[in-house]
Amino acid sequence: MKTLKLILLALLLVCGSMLTAQTKVLDSLTDLLAKADTAKDKAGLMNLIASEYTGNDPDKIKHYAEKALAIAKKGNIRAEEANALLNLGNVSIMMSNYPQAVNRFTQAQDILEKMLTETAYASDANIKNTLASIYGSLGVVFSEQNNYARALEYYFKALKIYKADKQEYIEAALYNNIGVVYKSHEEYDKALTYFEKALALQQKLKDRFSSSTMANIGNVYLEKGQYDKALNYYNDALAMLTKYEDKRALAELYNNFGDYYSKTGNINKAEESYKKALAIFNEAGEKFGASASLNLLGELYLKKKNDKQALDYFSKSSAYAQEIGSLEHVRDSEKSISSLYEKQGNFKEALVHYKKYTAAQDSIINAENIRTMVREEMNYEMERREALQKKENEKREAIYIEQEKRHRQQMIFAGLIVTLLVGLVFVIYNRLQLKKTLTLQRDLAEYEQKALHLQMNPHFVFNCLGSISSFIVQNGTDSAIKYLSKFSKLMRLTLEYSKESLIPIDSEIEGLQNYLELEQLRFNRMFEFTITKDPDIEDDMAIPPLLLQPFVENAIIHGIIPKKEKGTIMVDFRLVNNKLVCTVTDDGIGFSKSKEMKEKSVTVHKSMALEITRKRLEVIQAFTSKTSQVEITELHNAAGEPAGTKIVLNLPIQYASN
Percentages helix, strand, coil for the chain (3-state, rounded to 5) are 75, 10, 15
CATH class of this structure's domain 440-655: alpha beta
CATH fold of 166-239: 1.25.40
| pLDDT for 228 | 94
Asked if residues 321 and 357 have their Cβ atoms less than 8 Å apart, the reply is: no
* Calpha distance 217→188 (Å, rounded): 10
> Domain boundaries in the chain?
1-147, 166-239, 440-655
Asked if residues 570 and 585 have their Cβ atoms less than 8 Å apart, the reply is: yes
Strand-pairing partners, residue 630, are 649
* Calpha distance 246→209 (Å, rounded): 10
Kindly give the residue spans of alpha helices, DSSP state H, lying in 499-648: 505-522, 549-554, 591-600, 609-624
Phi, psi at 37, each rounded to 5°: -120, 0
Pairing of strands 567-576, 541-543: unpaired
| pLDDT for 396 | 65
pLDDT along the chain (658 residues), means of 10: 39 38 63 88 89 77 92 93 92 82 89 90 89 89 80 90 89 91 90 93 89 92 93 92 82 92 92 92 86 91 89 90 83 90 89 88 72 59 65 70 79 79 80 69 52 51 67 67 76 72 87 87 86 89 85 89 89 92 92 78 56 74 77 88 91 80
| pLDDT for 112 | 92
Q: What is the sign of the dihedral through the CA atoms of 135, 141, 144 and 146?
A: negative
| Residues with Cβ within 8 Å of residue 99, at least 6 apart in sequence | 374, 377, 378, 381
Beta carbons within 10 angstroms of residue 383's beta carbon: 10
Kindly give the residue spans of alpha helices, DSSP state H, lying in 36-97: 39-52, 58-75, 78-94
- Distance in angstroms between the alpha carbons of the first and the last residue of the chain: 32
1-147 and 166-239 in the same fold = yes
In terms of phi and psi (left: phi > 0; alpha: psi -120 to 50; beta: otherwise), the region of 525 is left
Amino acid at 67: K
For residue range 19-76, list pLDDT tens digits in order: 333 344 578 888 888 888 899 999 999 988 888 876 567 888 899 999 999 999 999 9
CATH class of this structure's domain 1-147: mainly alpha
Beta carbons within 10 angstroms of residue 420's beta carbon: 8
Q: Which long-range contacts (CB under 8 A, 24 or more apart) does 186-193 make?
A: 186/223, 188/220, 188/223, 188/224, 190/539, 191/216, 191/220, 192/217, 192/220, 192/221, 193/535
For residue range 586-616, list pLDDT tens digits in order: 999 888 888 877 776 654 455 555 676 777 7
| pLDDT for 475 | 65
Q: What is the sign of the dihedral through the CA atoms of 456, 462, 465 and 469?
A: negative
| pLDDT for 219 | 93
The DSSP H or E segment spanning 529 is strand 527-533
Residues constituting the chain: 658
Instruction: Find, among 444, 404, 375, 472, the residue nearest to 147 by Cα.
Output: 375
